[in-house]
Structure 1
């Protein structure tokens, strides 16, 4: 009733050409040429250089500190959630064990 329907592979149509045979060619070594270094100086970039002023350095330090504090708070909260979950599972296990032990004593 619930059988999976497997697709059939399509058959090739027309004539199939055999793969082309690649014949190796001989390599003739060329004469080595010496390259001379360019004499023109490299062009100067049109982009302005980034200057780190005391204000921007303070902003970078403050931003980095904020990122570290936020990531730390998230990790600590995740650890606390895992610890609370483990504690509640342990309490449930103790209660279940107690209920099963008292049930066995009654019989």
Structure 2
């Protein structure tokens, strides 16, 4: 049916610069056989984190709250999708019924 036309490249209207010529060069490998000196990392100046029983309880409570909130949001989104689908199905049934009853009258 419809065949697209492939555009042809028109003749250039401006000056064309030739491509640059790259000449290969010799690669000389480095011949150093001295081993590298490895120094150990300095000890961290930060204090270690110590969890108290109250901090552990707060972490558990906070994690539980996050899980419950995310779960409630996901369940509410699923419920919204289900309600929307059911209402669209009901609308389709009503419209089909109206079209069928209108066709029977004529």
CA–CA distance in structure 2, aligned partners of residues 58 and 12 of structure 1: 75
Structure 2 CA distance for partners of 1:34 and 1:101, relative to 1, 3 Å: same
Structure 1 stretches of 5 or more lacking a match?
1-10
Structure 2 CA distance for partners of 1:26 and 1:80, relative to 1, 3 Å: same
Aligned residues: CA RMSD: 2.7
CA–CA distance in structure 2, aligned partners of residues 50 and 23 of structure 1: 56
Q: Deviation at 1:36?
A: 6.1
**TM-score, scaled relative to structure 2:** 0.72
Structure 2 CA distance for partners of 1:83 and 1:24, relative to 1, 3 Å: same
Paired residue total: 94
Q: Which runs of 4+ in 1 moved over 3 A?
A: 11-17, 31-38
